[in-house]
Amino acid sequence: MTSATVSGSQSDRDRIDAFAETTEDRQWIHTDPDRAARGPFGTTIAHGYLIFACGAAAVVTPVGSLKWDGGEGPARPRQT
C-alpha cells in the first residue's frame, strides 16, 4: 500500500482513491500505482487539496474541545 504522511496522519491508498472519486479527479498520478511508478515521483501522490485539507485539520482545534466560561458578557475560552 502506498501512503503519504501529512502532519502525522496517513493518507493511504483508500483515502486517495475516495478523494479522486469524490472530486472526479482520476489522474493516473493519483490513482494508477503501476503507471505512477514510471512517473516523476516513482509512486502515486495525494491530491494537493487532500494534503491541504489534512494539514488544515491537523492545526485546527475542534470547538468541542474548548472550555467556555458561562455567564453574561462575551464568550471566551476558560483558562485551565
The structural domains of the chain, with segments of one domain joined by +, span 3-60
In sequence order, the β-bridge partners of residue 12 are 3
Residue 45: CB atoms within 10 A of its CB come to 19
What architecture does CATH give domain 3-60? Roll (3.10)
Long-range contacts of 52-59 (CB under 8 A, 24+ apart): 54/6, 54/7, 54/9, 54/11, 55/6, 55/7, 57/9, 58/6, 58/7, 58/8, 58/9, 59/7
pTM for the predicted model, two decimal places? 0.55
| Each residue's pLDDT tens digit, 14-30 | 888 898 999 998 899 98
Stretch 37-52: mean pLDDT: 88
